[in-house]
């Protein structure tokens, strides 16, 4: 792709996204990229900067600020922004990347998934979608229901299917099996995976699936085996969210990771937040798929560099 085409593709892409949300009456918000707080998640490393003697974190997603707006009565909102994640470099990752995140008040997950689908189909019109539960996909490929599975059962599966011998926690084994065994099997169409294991709930509500297992009310959209979007039925309880943050910090301590300060402004807002669902979508990845669909990038596996004007190593 020459430089003009590359610039034009992203411009058209953003224009269409904004048109879509205009039709849906979802309002664009411009939220800070620097915040006083970062996520407590074990596997999200924030980059930080000092202003005077105060430390600010480059946001790994606009979630904290957007939820504060929802609590203050913003109604449905979306943001197109930059997100930053330390040390994430690879063909599907760049430490600075572009993210689309949006929230729909009163939406449950099926409605939000339909919304995601309508948006994606603006760009990939021929794409077929299916929805499967995490448990069904996992069990049909690996023969084990992931929800009641123990660490040692998962370790055994990991060894048998990937040769992995290292030590992980439950969520880690699930991540390994997901990326090594399941993602490559998801096919080249679009697939929503629904109802995640509770150890991966993050900021989603917990519910029960058809077989009575506790599940996180969360979905991921995969296209061509690649993770594109991650949606939650949003947890709106400050109390429960605080417990999860504190549990994260304990786990961080056990791994000698930095303890992350807890964002009290955010927690306070959660109790005022309306019932809603929200989703984050990787814009660079979707743009790559779109360019591939138009024959503008070679179909030899994803390489985000093809759609980034200045990838990390060219800064």
Partner 1 sequence: MASYSTNEFRGGLKVMLDGDPCSIVENEFVKPGKGQAFSRVRLKNLKTGRTWDRTFKSGESLEAADVMDTDMQYLYSDGEYWHFMHPETFDQKQADQAAVADAIQWLKEQDICVVTLYNDQPLSVTPPNHVELEIAETDPGVRGDTATGGTKPAKLVTGAVVKVPLFLEEGEVVKVDTRTGEYIGRVR
- What residue ranges bind partner 1 (CB under 8 A)? 41, 43-44, 87-93, 162-164, 166, 168, 171-172, 174-176, 178-180, 200, 202, 220, 227, 230
What distance in Å separates the CA atoms of residue 288 and residue 307, rounded to the nearest whole number?
6
> For residues 177 and 273, which CB has a smaller minimum distance to partner 1 in the complex?
177
Helix, strand, coil: what percent of the chain each, to 5? 40, 25, 35
| Residue number, 139 or 180, with CB nearest to partner 1 | 180
DSSP code, position 6 = H
* Centroid of chain to Cα 201: 12
Using the minimum distance from each CB to partner 1, give the nearer residue, 41 or 139.
Answer: 41
Instruction: Give the rounded distance of the alpha carbon of 199 from its chain centre.
Output: 15
Q: Which two tokens stand for residue 198?
A: 């509770």
Min separation Cβ 258 and partner 1, Å = 15
What residues have CB less than 8 Å from 141, skipping those under 6 apart? Answer: 181, 182, 185
What are the backbone angles phi and psi of residue 312, rounded to the nearest 5°? -45, -40
Residue 174: CB minimum distance to partner 1, A? 8
- The SS3 call for residue 146 is coil
Q: How far is the CB of 294 from partner 1 (least distance, A)?
A: 26
Name the residue nearer to partner 1 (CB basis): 89 or 272: 89
From residue 251, alpha-carbon distances to 114, 177, 178 in Å are 36, 22, 22
Shorter beta-carbon distance to partner 1: residue 9 or 60: 60
Torsion, Cα of 269, 270, 271, 273 (10° steps): 90
Q: Which lies closer to partner 1 via its Cβ, residue 109 or residue 178? A: 178
List all residues 6 or more positions away from 314 whose beta carbon is below 8 Å from its beta carbon. none
Q: How far is the CB of 43 from partner 1 (least distance, A)?
A: 6
In the complex, least distance from residue 275 CB atom to partner 1, rounded to whole angstroms: 23
What minimum distance in Å lies between the beta carbon of 194 and partner 1? 15
């Amino acid at each position: 792709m020459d430089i003009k085409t590359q610039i034009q593709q992203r411009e058209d892409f953003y224009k269409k996204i904004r048109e879509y949300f205009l039709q849906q009456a979802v309002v664009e918000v411009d939220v800070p990229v620097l915040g006083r707080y970062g996520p407590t998640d074990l596997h999200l490393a924030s980059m930080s900067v000092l202003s005077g003697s105060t430390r600010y974190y480059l946001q790994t997603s606009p979630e904290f600020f957007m939820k504060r707006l929802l609590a203050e009565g913003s109604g449905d909102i979306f943001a197109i922004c930059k997100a930053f994640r330390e040390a994430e470099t690879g063909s599907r990752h760049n430490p600075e990347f572009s993210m689309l995140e949006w929230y729909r008040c009163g939406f449950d997950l099926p409605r939000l998934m339909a919304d995601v689908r309508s948006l994606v189909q603006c760009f990939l019109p021929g794409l077929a979608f299916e929805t499967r539960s995490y448990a069904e996909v996992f069990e049909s490929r690996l023969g084990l229901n992931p929800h009641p599975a123990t660490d040692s059962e998962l370790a055994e599966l990991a060894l048998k299917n990937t040769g992995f011998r290292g030590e992980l926690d439950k969520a880690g084994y699930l991540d390994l099996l997901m990326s090594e065994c399941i993602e490559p099997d998801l096919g080249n169409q679009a697939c929503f995976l629904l109802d995640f294991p509770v150890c991966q709930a993050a900021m989603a509500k917990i519910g029960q699936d058809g077989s009575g297992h506790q599940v996180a009310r969360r979905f991921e959209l995969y296209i061509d085996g690649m993770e594109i979007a991650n949606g939650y039925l949003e947890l709106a309880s400050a109390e429960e969210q605080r417990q999860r943050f504190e549990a994260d910090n304990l786990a961080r301590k056990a791994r000698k990771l930095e303890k992350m300060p807890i964002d009290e402004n955010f927690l306070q807002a959660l109790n005022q937040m309306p019932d809603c669902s929200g989703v984050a979508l990787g814009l660079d990845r979707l743009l790559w798929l779109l360019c591939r669909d138009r024959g503008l990038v070679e179909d030899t596996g994803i390489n985000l560099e093809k759609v980034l004007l200045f990838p990390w190593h060219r800064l």
